[in-house]
Amino acid sequence: MPSITNNNPCVVLQKVGSITYEDRPVPELTDPHYVKIAIKQTGLCGSDLHYYETGCCGSFKVEKPMVLGHESSGEIVEVGSAVTSLKVGDRVACEPGIPSRYSQEYKSGNYNLCPHMAFAATPPYDGTLCRYYLLPEDFCVKLPDHVSLEEGALVEPLAVGVHANRLIDVKFGDSIIVFGAGPVGLLCAGVAKAFGCDKVLLVDIIDEKLAFAVEHGLASHTFNSRGQKFDDLMEKVKSIWKDSEHGLPTCGIDATGNQTCTNMCIRALAKKGRFVQVGMGPDNMDNFPIAAVMEKELTVKGSFRYSVNDYNYAVQLLKERKLNVKPLVTHRFKFSEAIEAYEFSKKGQSIKIMISGPE
């Protein structure tokens, strides 16, 4: 049975370029529906790096010291008096954003859009890179025995991929083109394949990432777009889809935020195709292909984090071994090496960095 220590070491972003360790008070359960989690694994996300390097991510800005981390898994060490679905010792994936239970967005099933969302490591809220973290029981998803805590930490970016694919209703018989072979793009592609896409074309500018995707079953086809024009991409697309009913992919995801990638992805779709923007781009795109959207009657959506059941579906994919996320962890650091992990991430030599502990 796990025991609770009297210290709570945390990795804290003090200001741009400055991370320190702090021993903060152990959080106390005051809500009967909450649980206390001993954090065991935390993935390093691109947003964490943005805060570290620039102090902001999108419209969110760091204005005071903040505990980093939001891609975490851990072990339940204490439960509130009203908790019924979890017990001490359970291993869980931690969904790190808590909406207001009273907002219209929450009540309509779109809680990821709640304006009162308290999201870990998004200013002004502290993150999960600490020893103990509190969550409501319904924002913890129990991990099957054969799913590791590292995989549990990867449920967070996997849920992003699940949410994106669900937004455009990817299903058996569809095919997809995905731009961006970073962690989220790889997982968007892998989820699409798990959801039934027979053809999954992944586009990036780094051969090693594309080869990784094929090797680990996350994509069926790849295209290196470095120095290539749209006509070059379409030649590749038409060669892959030459025998398909639509002749072009029915679905598209841009996980880069790059204007050129968004443009090419939308233009490559079949008539009545569905597109979702996952990668965060500029506030305004100068080269948006509105004519293609109109002439093909495309459906174009935005995607923000994840919502109802996305975490559950992500864990289900791992439970049924529909998707292998283990290879995405290319570098591992101890909690005591967290600062080194952030410095290393700046080199761009990893797919996913995992920080274990605190020890």
Could you give the C-alpha distances from 71 to 5, 41, 47, 65, 128, in angstroms and in order?
23, 8, 11, 19, 8
Q: State residue 78's pLDDT score.
A: 98
Parent domain of 236 = 161-302
Overall average pLDDT of the 155-179 stretch: 98
Are 28 and 148 within one domain?
yes
In a domain, 309, yes or no: no
171 and 143, same domain (yes or no): no
**pLDDT, tens digit (0-9, with 9 covering 90-100), for 179-222:** 999 999 999 999 999 999 999 999 999 999 999 999 999 999 99
Is 247's pLDDT higher than 70?
yes
Q: Are 23 and 150 in a shared domain?
A: yes
Q: Are 221 and 130 contained in the same domain?
A: no
The domain that contains 248 carries what CATH number?
A: 3.40.50.720
State the pairing for strand pair 221-224/200-204. Answer: parallel
Q: Is residue 316 part of a domain?
A: no
When comparing pLDDT for 24 and 281, which is higher?
A: 24
Tens-place pLDDT, residues 127-139: 999 999 999 999 9
pLDDT at 34: 98
Q: What is the mean pLDDT of residues 53-82?
A: 95
Tally of structural domains, the chain: 2
Asked whether residue 118 falls in the same domain as residue 193, the answer is no
Say if residue 187 is in the same domain as residue 77.
no
In a domain, 308, yes or no: no
pTM, 2 dp: 0.96
Domain end point (choices 302, 317, 335):
302
Residues 6 or more apart in contact with residue 162 via CB below 8 angstroms: 191, 306, 310, 313, 314, 317
Residues 120 and 50 in one domain: yes
Torsion of CA 246, 247, 251, 256, to 10 degrees: -170
- 182 falls within a domain: yes
151 Cβ neighbours under 8 A, 6+ residues apart = 73, 143, 318, 325, 326
- Residue 5's pLDDT band (cuts 50, 70, 90): confident
**What would the DSSP string read from start to end of 229-265?**
-HHHHHHHHHHHSTTSSSSS-SEEEE-S--HHHHHHH
Report yes or no on 310 lying in a domain. Answer: no
Query: Both 202 and 294 in a single domain?
Result: yes
- pLDDT exceeds 70 at position 1: no
If you average pLDDT over every residue of the chain, what do you get? 96
pLDDT in tens, 17-57: 999 999 999 999 999 999 999 999 999 998 899 999 999 88
Q: Assess whether 146 and 236 both reside in one domain.
A: no
One domain for residues 210 and 330? no
Quote the Cα angle for 260-266-272, to 5°: 175
Residue 183: count of CB within 10 angstroms of its CB: 27
Kindly report the CATH number assigned to the domain that includes residue 65: 3.90.180.10
Q: How much of the chain, in percent, has pLDDT values that exceed 90? A: 92
Whether 2 is covered by a domain: the verdict is no
Q: What is the mean pLDDT of residues 71-96?
A: 98
* Amino acid making up residue 30: T
Please give the pLDDT value at position 3. Answer: 72
pLDDT higher than 90, residue 58? no
41: tokens are 């694994």
Where residue 281 falls among pLDDT bands split at 50, 70, 90? confident
- Per the domain annotation, does 349 fall within a domain? yes
Examine the domain organization and report whether 229 and 150 are in the same domain. Answer: no
Residue 132 and residue 175 in one domain: no
Kindly state whether residue 281 falls inside one of the protein's structural domains: yes
Q: Residue 4: what pLDDT?
A: 83
